Structure 1
Amino acid sequence: MSREGRLGVGIIGAGRVGPVVGAALAGAGHAVVGITSGSDDDRVESVLPGVPFLDAPEIVRRAELVVLAVPHAELAGVVAGLADIGAWQIGQLVVHTDPGFGLDVLLPAATRGAIPLAIHPAISFTGTSMDLRQLADAFAAVTAPAAVLPIAQALAVELGCEPVVVQDADRPAYAEAIATATEFSRSIVRQASDLLAAAGIENPRAFLSTIVHSSVDEALADPGAPGDVPGLPPAV
């Protein structure tokens, strides 16, 4: 996006993802006009200092770009509820960050003239400013109507990520891959930590840190891993 294309950004969702996405977009020159309140407003304030806490309808009223970073089970209800009160605006960009949804979940907003985009930064968020460094090394899955795909890709770049287009029909497979990588990794680390603790190893998670990271790096670099194509970079 050009410098003249700076947007007023509203964040609905004050968990781990929303404040960090807001901070990344603010770092790219956009103005964060508000964020909904959550269970840890002090943390949000540390990531987005000075940004006002507003209710969702007011955020939608003020923002040209609305970022929906709410739990998976709540996303459809939030979109539909705001549509029911006539909050969505014609030409307004609406982005959700959920890997498990494509564009259908944004249909109530799109039917009222908003522009639907799905952008999932592929990192494990902590909800702190440390995530901004992770974004700089990450990919983002981008799904959007063809006419506005360049906008979604540009926003992913402004988050610090390299955009990778995922077709709407492929979002379920994408979500399964992300869930497999994250949940399996966490489960294995927990199991190994428990075994080390039973063996008398103090601070087993620190003990595992180097071997886990090196093993994952080796697996990702394996040229024979499934999904890799000779002559192309390894699959991620």
Structure 2
Amino acid sequence: MEQQYRAASPRPASRLAVGVVSAGRVGSVVGAALERAGHRVVAASAVSDASLERAARHLPAAEILSPHQVAAAADLLLIAVPDDAIAPLVASLPVRPGQIWAHTSGALGAAALAPARDAGALTIALAPVMTFTGRAEDLERLAGISWAITGEAESRYVGEALVLEMGGEPEHIDEADRARYHAALVYAANHLMTLVNDAADQLRAIGVNEPQRLLAPLVSASLDNALRHGDAGLTGPVSRGDAGTVAAHLGALAGTGIEDTYRALARRTAERALDSGRLKPADAEGLLDVLSERRSAHPEEETP
């Protein structure tokens, strides 16, 4: 079914004149990917020195114009501004019936472009499932990634065609599911960054000079195990029910600022280990007692 659906998806009939608002970390890179696919970025908005530099690097043929002028010049208008800025920006720009309008927000669906849709544009939420750091590798990282597409039927087809042209994999997300979809990505990607950096801080605090070098093989293998094997790839003291080890960890982390985070994640790990059969209920009793908030908050009330 998937192959038949993709074969039936129409491709843009001609190369499109693309306008980018604005040439930030995401907009400049997605604009460059569209150029690689054969479209022409004819205009972009850029105000800060960093955006002007990115436009010069990724979109050298684009004329730097105001957002209003960019919208007027584009067949395909790519809106890549912060989430909260999308709705007021869309309401302020001119719309030409038959234009394609797309935004790159992961959190928002096509409803954010409703004023443009009502004025005759075809509107798509078109979000790359990738992190953008502003470094040179951002463009190369787009190869083969997934893109979340939300829109009405014709819009979805056009969005799918654009993604396939850029070498990506389209993933259709319903409008009502965008927030949950985006929460899952943030939970995995942004919180992973926080966890790794917190771990590096703890190692640095005890004298490890290059914690990133120490952590890289372990964290990389753990991520690979999670993606390949799911809960079956879980290892460590929680999956074994080693309550004494976990208690020692909590004691060592007291006052570091991450004790509560460790406790919450260990409890969630225990739940997944129990549900998957990795941890037996009998082995979990002592562990869950160590992880209980009551035990932590009121040690004087514990039973000897």
Select 2:145's aligned residue among 138, 148, 156.
138
Q: 2:41 maps to what in 1?
A: 32
1:44–1:16: structure 2 CA closer, same or farther, 3 Å change rule? same
Matched residue, 1:56: 67
Q: Distance in 1 between matches of 2:62 and 2:136?
A: 15
Structure 1 unaligned runs (5+)? 227-236
Larger Rg: 2
- 1:159 corresponds in structure 2 to 166
After TM superposition, give the deviation of residue 73 of structure 1 in Å: 1.6
Distance 2:55 2:209 in 1: 34
Aligned to 1:71: 82
1:15 CA drift (Å): 1.6
Q: Which residue of 2 aligns with 1:105?
A: 112
Structure 2 residue 146 is matched with structure 1 residue 150: no
Which consecutive residues of structure 2, in runs of 5 or more, have no partner in the other structure? 1-9, 233-271, 273-304
Partner of 2:226: 219
Query: In structure 2, what is the equivalent of residue 42 of structure 1?
Result: 53
Q: Give the Cα–Cα distance (whole angstroms) in 1 for the partners of residues 54 and 217 of structure 2.
A: 29
Distance of 2:84 and 2:231 partners within structure 1? 37
C-alpha contact (below 8 Å) 1:47/1:128 kept by paired residues: no
Query: Which residue, out of 32, 39, 59, partners 1:23?
Result: 32
- Partners of 2:21 and 2:107 lie apart in 1 by 18
Shift, 1:44, TM fit: 2.7
Q: Secondary structure at the match of 1:136?
A: coil
- TM-superposed CA distance for 1:223, in Å, is 4.8
Question: Is contact 1:20-1:47 (8 Å) kept?
Answer: yes
**Match status 1:171 vs 2:178:** yes
Report the Cα distance in structure 2 between the residues aligned to 1:3 and 1:183, rounded to whole angstroms: 34
User: Matches of 1:186 and 1:38 in 2, distance apart?
Assistant: 29
Q: Provide the residue aligned with 2:199 in structure 1.
A: 192
2:42–2:61 contact (8 Å) kept in structure 1: no
Structure 2 CA distance for aligned equivalents of residues 194 and 49 of structure 1? 40
Pairing partner for 1:14 from 23, 32, 51: 23
* Contact 2:78 2:103 (C-alpha < 8 Å) held by counterparts: yes
Q: Deviations over 1:121-148 (max 9, x none)?
A: 1011123441222111311111110123
Contact 1:12 1:70 in 2 (8 A): yes
TM-score where L is the length of structure 2:
0.69
**Residue 4 (structure 1) shift:** 5.0
Paired letter, 2:174 = Q
How far apart are the structure 1 equivalents of 2:66 and 2:210? Answer: 43
Which protein has greater RCO, CA pairs closer than 8 Å, 6+ apart? 1
Q: Give the Cα separation in 2 of the matches to 1:38 and 1:170.
A: 33
RMSD: 1.8
Query: Deviation at 1:213?
Result: 2.0
Which of 201, 214, 217 is equivalent to 1:210?
217
Corresponding residue for 1:233?
A: none
In the alignment, the residues of structure 1 paired with residue 155 and residue 144 of structure 2 have an alpha-carbon distance, to the nearest angstrom, of 24
Cα contact 2:11–2:162 (8 A) shared by 1: no
The percentage of counterpart residues that share the same residue type is 37
Deviations 1:87-111 (A, max 9, x none): 1110100001101111111001111
- 3-state DSSP of counterpart to 1:5: coil
Tell me which of 88, 100, 114 is aligned to 2:95. 88
Q: CA deviation at 1:118?
A: 0.6
